[in-house]
Structure 1
Amino acid sequence: MAKYKLEYVWLDGYQPMANLRSKTQIKEFASFPKLEELPNWGFDGSSTRQAEGKSSDCVLKPVAVFPDSTKRNGVLVMCEVYMPDGKTPHPSNTRATIPDDPDTWFGFEQEYFFFKDGAPLGFPKNGYPYPQGEYYTGVGYKAVGSLARQIVDEHIDLCLDAHINIEGINAEVAKGQWEFQIFGKGSKSAADQMWMARYVLLRLCEKHEIDIEWRCKPIRGAFDAPLDWNGSGMHSNFSTKFMREVGGKTYFDRLMAAFNKLMDEHIAVYGPENHLRLTGLHETQSIDKFTYGLADRGASIRVPHSFINNGYKGYLEDRRPNSAADPYLVAGRILKTVQSVPTN
């Protein structure tokens, strides 16, 4: 038997954007623990905006488990939050409310800013760096500095060690802005991996005294910027088994009509302050409109050339979800809309 460090991770009750929380317990197992071997665990919900002090008990229910290479016998445990009875999902538990389908695949493109002393990493103390243009996929100290690449490369290794399906990283359009990509099969599995990848990045940055800014328009929101610096998205690529294997122009038209009809329902869960990002200028379509277009980065949904060339089969990219969006709600909303469209 060996003692394992079980780091339970969950989402708190803060609005409009939940924070990640964690705490660790030590348990003995004969080998790396399976999900079904992990016990439920209580916590003080009054300290996380999930309960009142007079009745503060909440319950953590493990739903996914990942190896943690930063510790000897380390285990990362993604959890849902339940009421004290251990059976009723807590109102903040977005994972418990969404539809799921392992044949629906999601690819999340998570953009974010490194922040240091209240400004994006690499911004001068007084003023601003040179305008956007050379930062995207940039190379060299002038474009990306010295610390950011060290962090993102270590983040890749930690995610791979944890069996999180990270598929790539790149420097993004603004100074101090980066992106990583996560692929998963099924709404819950894909979102579990995204939340845990976010957690791993946040924890990694602690030792570098760097913050991660998830807000979708942090420069405009933080101080008076002279330029309309880019915001951050969580572009969400999706495909169902039917989209990959059958598809067709008739089905595609129905699908886009459904996304148009349910536009407000999507925007409602695509992240806070999205009106600051979805301006209709240079980042994507205006928040009050729905459009789709071939390889069109300014559309609500970008249609890849491969999709058209393959007979309207494959994946599509919803560009509206923002960097602070809850992946559970985003994946669930996309799947619910797709499921509403007849395939015959």
Structure 2
Amino acid sequence: MPKFKLEYIWLDGYTPVPNLRSKTQLKDFDSFPTLEQLPNWGFDGSSTQQAEGRSSDCVLKPVALYPDGSRNNGILVMCEVMMPDGVTPHPSNSRATILDDADTWFGFEQEYFLWEDGAPLGFPKGGYPGPQGPYYCGVGFSNVGDVARQIVEEHLELCLEAGINHEGINAEVAKGQWEFQIFGKGSKTCADQIWVARYILNRLCESYGVDVNYHCKPLGKDLDWNGSGMHCNFSTKYMRETGGKEYFEALMAAFGKNLDEHIAVYGPDNHMRLTGLHETQSIDKFTYGIADRGSSVRVPHSFINAGYKGYLEDRRPNSQGDPYQIASRVLKTISEVPLP
């Protein structure tokens, strides 16, 4: 009977951005186990800002599992954090109570910087490379280097081996900045895959001596370099099959009304990124426009051409945002709009 290496992954209690944590448990199974076969597992919450030392027990509850292509008989196990009873969600558990609907589809565009010695990978020591322009979807050593390409390609393969639904990768606008896109049906399914993809990337970069910087504006808001977003593409069954201009306008009115509620969960320090420059709308405004990358919500031409049917892109979520909270907030606003 083979031993399987179960890498339990969870989000700690740090704020405003939780860190990914993990530890390995070995278990005997006849074959690749099901989720129901995986046991809960305890950990020391006093070391992760999730408990006090005098009562430090927390519990990991497996909620999704993925083959781990970096290990023989390896499995990546995404977990929720529970209280010691194993039933009550921990206050830091951002997944347990979110809105979810398998007919609401999400696509997240995760931007990030590869980071080395306090600067984006490929920046000259103590200075800056040439201005933005040639790096977006760039090719060639001077634009993307060699190590970065190795990392993103290896990350893609590991995610595909894990069954994560990647839809694309590309070099981004700033030097050392990259993006991957993930699609999923339902808030939890898509968000689980984003968190596990982040975990895989962080772990992979260890072997290259490189970090991943998810901050939305790591080079500072006063420098002429793009920040990092995590644009949220979304559609409901009604939007895909029926749609219509009247419903679309009511939906956009609801998004405008809930501006503050969305910004509150779209990632910290977003005021540094949502300045009205670099293809963003100002953080205190809500706008929408056809193919307008400077709007809060970009409306694809395909949406209009199909009779106001299809998907929309909320460009405000940032690269540090919690996809559980982002997807749930989008779904909550959608649910406030009655169907015609």
TM-score after normalising by structure 1: 0.98
- Give the Cα–Cα distance (whole angstroms) in 2 for the partners of residues 101 and 127 of structure 1: 47
- Indicate the residue corresponding to 2:105 in structure 1: 105
Q: Is the 8 A contact 1:114 1:213 kept in 2?
A: yes
- Indicate the residue corresponding to 2:318 in structure 1: 322
- Give the Cα–Cα distance (whole angstroms) in 2 for the partners of residues 127 and 155 of structure 1: 28
- Give the Cα–Cα distance (whole angstroms) in 2 for the partners of residues 253 and 30 of structure 1: 55
Q: Is the 8 A contact 1:159 1:197 kept in 2?
A: yes
Letter in 2 for 1:32: F
Letter in 2 for 1:210: V
SS of alignment partner, residue 197 of structure 1: helix
Q: Which runs of 5+ in 2 are unaligned?
A: none
Find out whether 1:301 has 2:311 as its counterpart: no
TM-score after normalising by structure 2: 0.99
Shift of 1:220: 1.0
SS of alignment partner, residue 154 of structure 1: helix
CA deviation map 1:191-240 (0-9, x unaligned): 0000000000000000000000000000117xxx7x42100000000000
SS of alignment partner, residue 215 of structure 2: coil
Alignment of 1:1-344 (within 5 A): 1-220=1-220, 227-344=223-340
Letter in 1 for 2:270: N
- Give the Cα–Cα distance (whole angstroms) in 2 for the partners of residues 69 and 115 of structure 1: 24
Shift of 1:20: 0.3
- Give the Cα–Cα distance (whole angstroms) in 1 for the partners of residues 71 and 79 of structure 2: 20
Q: Is the 8 A contact 1:35 1:64 kept in 2?
A: yes
SS of alignment partner, residue 218 of structure 1: coil
Letter in 2 for 1:173: V
SS of alignment partner, residue 158 of structure 2: helix
Q: Is the 8 A contact 1:234 1:321 kept in 2?
A: yes
Aligned residues: 340
Q: Is the 8 A contact 1:277 1:283 kept in 2?
A: no
Letter in 2 for 1:140: G
- Give the Cα–Cα distance (whole angstroms) in 2 for the partners of residues 131 and 96 of structure 1: 44
Letter in 2 for 1:56: S
SS of alignment partner, residue 163 of structure 1: coil
Letter in 2 for 1:220: G
- Give the Cα–Cα distance (whole angstroms) in 1 for the partners of residues 326 and 318 of structure 2: 10
SS of alignment partner, residue 220 of structure 2: helix
Letter in 1 for 2:263: I
CA deviation map 1:68-120 (0-9, x unaligned): 01111000000000011111111110001211000000000000000001110
Letter in 2 for 1:64: A
SS of alignment partner, residue 170 of structure 1: strand
Shift of 1:340: 1.0
The CA RMSD over aligned residues, in Å, is 0.8
Letter in 2 for 1:267: I
CA deviation map 1:302-332 (0-9, x unaligned): 0000000000000000000000000000000
SS of alignment partner, residue 97 of structure 1: coil
- Give the Cα–Cα distance (whole angstroms) in 1 for the partners of residues 51 and 126 of structure 2: 43
SS of alignment partner, residue 341 of structure 1: coil
Shift of 1:262: 0.5
SS of alignment partner, residue 220 of structure 1: coil
Q: Is the 8 A contact 1:143 1:175 kept in 2?
A: yes
- Give the Cα–Cα distance (whole angstroms) in 2 for the partners of residues 266 and 220 of structure 1: 23
Shift of 1:282: 2.1
Shift of 1:283: 2.7
Instruction: Extract structure 1 runs of 4+ deviating beyond 4 A.
Output: none
SS of alignment partner, residue 219 of structure 2: helix
- Give the Cα–Cα distance (whole angstroms) in 1 for the partners of residues 286 and 44 of structure 2: 42
- Give the Cα–Cα distance (whole angstroms) in 2 for the partners of residues 126 and 305 of structure 1: 43
